[in-house]
Structure 1
Amino acid sequence: MKQINLFALLFCCILSTTTFAQKNKKFDIIAYYTGDSKLIDEYEVSKLNQIIFSFCHLKDGKLSVDSAKDSITIKHLVSLKAKNPQLKIILSLGGWGGCEPCSNAFSTVEGRLKFAKSVKEVSDYFKVDGLDLDWEYPAIEGLPGHLYQAVDKPNFTELLKILRSTLGKKYELSFAAGGFQKYLDESIDWKAVTPLVNRINIMSYDLVNGYSKVTGHHTPLYSTNPKEESTNRAVEFLLKQGVPAEKLVIGGAFYSRTWQNVENINNGLYQAGEHIQGVDFKNFAATYTEVNGWKYFYDEKAQAPYWYNATTKTFATSDDLKSIKAKTEYVKEKKLGGIMFWELTLDSFRDGMVNEIYKVKTAK
């Protein structure tokens, strides 16, 4: 009897450990990375589950690594897996302005097959784990002047079908999804696409972007009014479309969006202004100081920070340690697939945004 109880106890321990491991494994910390083969070694790679090399592009309809320098970087990223068994290396296609030929290239069966075969060749050569499609955007306008057409929507589905059949079930497939309503409504056939991908990386940043003439939260967790874009709004929409929570990954911004000539009304929030260059998170502490004239605010409803400089009439919006903590807690609460961010080289080497995400992820 004692022996049976001992076996039963041992079985329960094994089962609970396995279950915990599976639950813990579902929360991925995913870093887009634009750096080189040396800079990555300065970061705490052991806290990451995926590094998405950014970017590869289309050349004659094929997935292309742009330079010898990029090849060296990808090879070095893959070598990091030896010390980090949880780590996967993903190649990303496109980016803002980087997918100009996509609409045309993916508009035919032949074009999609040609691309899928090239992805397999490149992936086998570098021994990477997957591909992230960063087409901004199918069926709606992205960078002004880039071709987009209504047929992009079904073509995107067909592209994923051929990629999945060519690359197999074990290959990681994801895509960077716009976090704003027009994209959510018009770009993707969610019911058809969801079964084909491992995850959907929601770009829940730039929701107020560089084209906006009015300030606002560019990466809020929650909407402060029914018309305001937010992370939660995109997540709730996709859950209602039937996307499993574990396939949804939300986005963090490691950079600020900034506007000048902003009047001192409502501390600059929701005011007219002219967009200018923002600041990387690693430089926040030296930039957004009272000595420099900046005042810090935190919108509890949006769970989003912002800064206003009354002297220079400048407004800034971003994620920071407090808001990225809130986003990470949201991922755990909603049982989402994880959190990704743009991008690793904008973070501090230590005690920065990645560390804050990791602390929340691993907290009991």
Structure 2
Amino acid sequence: MSRGRWAAGAVAVALLATAFAAAPAQAHRKDGDRVVGYYTQWSGYGRNFLISDLVKNGTAQRLTHLNYAFGFLDEQGRCVSADPWADYQRPFTAEQSVNGKEDVAGQPLAGNLNQLRQLKQRYPRLRVLISLGGWTGSKYFSNAALTPESRAEHVRSCIDMWIKGNLPGAAPGAAAGIFDGIDLDWEWPGSEAAPGNVVRPEDKANFTLLVREYRAQLGKRADLTAFLPANPGMVERGFEVRKVFKELTFATIQGYDYHGSWDSVTNQQSALRTPRGGPTDPDFSGQVAIGAYLDRGAPRHKLVLGVPFFSRGWTGVSGGGDGLFQPATGPAPATWEAGYEDYKVLKTKLDEFTVHRDNRAGHAWLFDGTTFWTWDDPVEMRRKARFISDNRLGGAMIWSLDGDTADGELIRALHSGLRC
């Protein structure tokens, strides 16, 4: 499951050249050291990637923020758990636990939330946020944001459940103190995204009002963040950027899923600059995405660029050459979702592929003559870190932490680049 794709049609973009020229390289701001990672509640199932693995592979010590994905909304806009078993009911063995102790029957809290509590005890400077929505959980955000009453009730319910820790069926306050704030992943105000999502013309203004309601109820000390789209058309339709950023601690900007197997030709999914010769004009890139927010008044130190620990892939590629911008018959076979594969899985198959890089545009891919995968390896992670540093952005965000290797190959490269 990905962070969610967005329509990759032609978009009118007026990217100011001065937006990046005005950002000379300099010593890091403190904000630029942010490393935000998404841990998904389903990681502990088929992938068997547990929160304790964040300690074992060196990830936890390199994170500044961990976003736990996802909490959902019901039709009335109130917060609910998407998976109570994973969130707070599943018992962990001593071997599986962060603190090395087995969960016992009758304890106030189990599941991933208890493991997050143990992780925070081990890394007290780590900020942990509950992420609400996502690609499959944004259906009712428009209902939550619709009126002053619905906004107030939505925020109250989310604070009660996730910040105060009052979980259904658990002791009052069982999960209190785990989350340091809330991450809003409404995909997307004013645009349908996943089929069936509720969309209204007033979503744009209502998103601003929802963010203000969150800030008013959370107070100034809690973190309030949002995941925002890379598509400039969606930015224009859904966000009053200057007003929203006034309330946010920072925002993570989609730095991937620019293209995927929903397209009929192979392409990049996370290039830093628009590649030459592509089939889409204008096309998408990290520079275009960040520029869309800078042009609308977002402060660069609050812009955290997303990076993928996964690949997008096509098969049945024809046309020869290195495989880029060539027709394909469909998504490449993969472990969990056709056309989507974790970095750690593809790395084990490198002897089957040739690695290609576009150093000007800043992206890479794998090709074996038939199958094509986008490729964000340590080389590309360091390249993205330099881009973040050179443009004085607010840091990097990872989707998702379960895609890395057992020794944390990707996060080590990203982290070292951000701090070099």
Q: Same fold (TM over 0.5)?
A: yes
- The answer to whether the aligner puts 1:140 opposite 2:146 as a matched pair is no
Counterpart of 1:340? Answer: 397
Contact 1:58 1:101 in 2 (8 A): yes
Contact 2:260 2:313 in 1 (8 A): no
- The answer to whether the aligner puts 1:42 opposite 2:42 as a matched pair is no
Contact 1:27 1:336 in 2 (8 A): no
- Helix, strand or coil: the match of 1:267? coil
- The answer to whether the aligner puts 1:241 opposite 2:296 as a matched pair is yes
Counterpart of 1:58? Answer: 73
Contact 1:90 1:131 in 2 (8 A): yes
The one-letter code of the counterpart of 2:80 is: S
Contact 2:319 2:327 in 1 (8 A): no
- Helix, strand or coil: the match of 2:143? helix
- Helix, strand or coil: the match of 1:296? strand
The one-letter code of the counterpart of 2:377 is: D
Once the two structures are superposed, the pairs formed by residues 199-348 of structure 1 within 5 Å of their partners are 199-225=250-276, 227-273=282-328, 274-276=330-332, 277=338, 278-289=340-351, 292=352, 294-310=353-369, 313-348=370-405
For residue 197 of structure 1, report the CA deviation from its aligned partner.
0.4
- Mean alpha-carbon deviation: is it higher for 117-126 or for 298-307? 117-126
Q: 1:26 to 1:82 in 2, by over 3 A?
A: farther
Distance 1:213 1:328 in 2: 30
For residue 25 of structure 1, report the CA deviation from its aligned partner.
5.0
Distance 2:32 2:284 in 1: 26
Q: Deviation per CA, 1:161-204, whole angstroms, max 9, x where unpaired?
A: 10000110111111111112221221111021110101110111
For residue 68 of structure 1, report the CA deviation from its aligned partner.
3.6
Number of residue pairs matched by the alignment: 338
Question: Structure 2 stretches of 5 or more lacking a match?
Answer: 1-26, 44-49, 89-110, 166-174, 333-337
- The answer to whether the aligner puts 1:195 opposite 2:254 as a matched pair is no
Q: Deviation per CA, 1:296-318, whole angstroms, max 9, x where unpaired?
A: 100112210111111xx111113
Q: 1:184 to 1:266 in 2, by over 3 A?
A: farther
Distance 2:378 2:205 in 1: 39
Distance 2:223 2:411 in 1: 22
Counterpart of 2:153? Answer: 114
For residue 267 of structure 1, report the CA deviation from its aligned partner.
1.7
Q: Deviation per CA, 1:194-247, whole angstroms, max 9, x where unpaired?
A: 101011101110011342222110011111246120011111221121211110
Contact 2:302 2:394 in 1 (8 A): yes
Contact 1:140 1:150 in 2 (8 A): no
The one-letter code of the counterpart of 1:228 is: D
Distance 1:97 1:234 in 2: 23
Counterpart of 2:18? Answer: none
Distance 1:345 1:257 in 2: 16
Counterpart of 1:24? Answer: 30
- Helix, strand or coil: the match of 1:220? coil
Distance 1:78 1:304 in 2: 37
- Helix, strand or coil: the match of 2:289? helix
The one-letter code of the counterpart of 1:42 is: K
Q: 1:115 to 1:333 in 2, by over 3 A?
A: same
**Structure with greater helix percent:** 1
Q: 1:332 to 1:55 in 2, by over 3 A?
A: same
Q: Give the TM-score normalised by the residue count of structure 1.
A: 0.88
Contact 1:213 1:275 in 2 (8 A): no
For residue 158 of structure 1, report the CA deviation from its aligned partner.
0.8
Contact 1:104 1:147 in 2 (8 A): yes
Task: Say what the alpha-carbon RMSD is for the aligned residues.
Answer: 1.8
Contact 2:32 2:418 in 1 (8 A): no
- Helix, strand or coil: the match of 1:183? helix
Distance 1:120 1:240 in 2: 33
Distance 1:63 1:43 in 2: 32
- Mean alpha-carbon deviation: is it higher for 33-42 or for 169-178? 33-42
For residue 139 of structure 1, report the CA deviation from its aligned partner.
0.3
- Helix, strand or coil: the match of 2:373? strand
The one-letter code of the counterpart of 1:200 is: A
Distance 1:25 1:159 in 2: 25
Counterpart of 2:113? Answer: 74
Question: Structure 1 stretches of 5 or more lacking a match?
Answer: 1-19
- The answer to whether the aligner puts 1:159 opposite 2:210 as a matched pair is yes
Q: Deviation per CA, 1:132-157, whole angstroms, max 9, x where unpaired?
A: 11111110120123222221111111
Q: Deviation per CA, 1:10-38, whole angstroms, max 9, x where unpaired?
A: xxxxxxxxxx9x93354200100013444
Contact 1:184 1:234 in 2 (8 A): no
Q: 1:229 to 1:25 in 2, by over 3 A?
A: closer
Identical pairs, percent = 27
- Helix, strand or coil: the match of 1:339? strand
- Helix, strand or coil: the match of 1:23? coil
Q: 1:288 to 1:141 in 2, by over 3 A?
A: farther
